[in-house]
Amino acid sequence: MRGIRARVLRICDMTVDTDALVRPDGPGSGGAKTVIPCWAMLIEHPEGLVLFDTGERTCEDGSSGRERLVEQLALCGVSPEHVRLVILSHLHHDHAGNLDLFPDADVVVQRRELEVAQAEVAAGTPGSIYRREEISGAVRWRVIDGEREILPGIRLIPAPGHTEGLQAMLLDLERPMLVTSDACYTARNFGPPARLPGLYRDASETLRSVERLRGIAGRSGAFVMFGHDSEQFSRMRLAPVPYE
Ligand SMILES: [Zn+2]
């Protein structure tokens, strides 16, 4: 759709076990680590500014992801209060931090994702990747169920598995862009064949979601942007240079 531009905002790097990205068939990589990107995406839409994911609050080197997000928005000539709509792929802390920067924006999330995250935070579930400070503030939640064109040219597509309520996004750019978030960490998970990551809630659902996204990419001719693919990210255009 004419008039949509997307800019990738680099927030920080994260160090993870290599085997956490793609579950090994055999003995694994023996504790090898991989550095992966944490990012958000600013979308200029004729109906207003949209932010897809909000990045990490505090980066692993102790620096402020919040300051980094504000800097990256400023690179695009945008202040947080200009953002009208926030879309969260899911509520893990590296995707849903810094929400307090956007008290006046509607925050779009799948109902199932919010329910599970709030239940885990309330119960203090051990090992949970959801953090109270990300989801317990005065957020203007706009809860949706299932696939939705949230604005013309911005389609949200449930892709559960990594979390119960994860959603991907299909952007109607000159070449469509399918943003998988953590439904697919890397090109290796995308396949074919689809490969499980090291972390998921439901294995068969995770693989089904990848197959579904691959089908959508095939039919739409979309460029597929993965959630944490450092090799792909090194080749991406970064803000302020847009995809349009
Ligand atoms: Zn995640």
How many angstroms separate the alpha carbon of residue 166 from the centre of ligand 1? 8
Share of the chain above pLDDT 90, in %: 86
Q: Which pLDDT does position 1 carry in this prediction?
A: 63
How many angstroms separate the alpha carbon of residue 226 from the centre of ligand 1? 12
pTM of the predicted model, to two decimals?
A: 0.96
What residues does the ion ligand 1 have nearby, CB within 5 Å? 92, 182
By CB neighbour count within 10 A (0-12 exposed, 13-18 middle, 19+ buried), where does 161 fall?
Answer: buried
How many angstroms separate the alpha carbon of residue 2 from the centre of ligand 1? 31
**How far is 163 from 183, CA to CA, in rounded Å?**
8
pLDDT digits (tens, 9 = 90+) for 4-53: 999 999 999 999 999 999 998 888 888 899 999 999 999 999 999 999 99
Say which range, 11-25, 120-134, 169-183, 198-212, has the weakest mean pLDDT: 120-134
User: Cα dist. 231→35, 109, 172, 186, 188 in Å?
Assistant: 10, 28, 24, 9, 11
Q: Name, of 23-27, 137-141, 207-211, the range with top average pLDDT.
A: 207-211
Q: Which pLDDT does position 70 carry in this prediction?
A: 98
How many angstroms separate the alpha carbon of residue 45 from the centre of ligand 1? 26
How many angstroms separate the alpha carbon of residue 138 from the centre of ligand 1? 22
> What order of strands is seen across the sheet that includes strand 83-87?
5-17, 33-45, 48-52, 83-87, 106-110, 140-144
Mean pLDDT of 154-160: 98
How many angstroms separate the alpha carbon of residue 52 from the centre of ligand 1? 14
- Per-residue pLDDT band at 183 (split at 50, 70, 90): very high
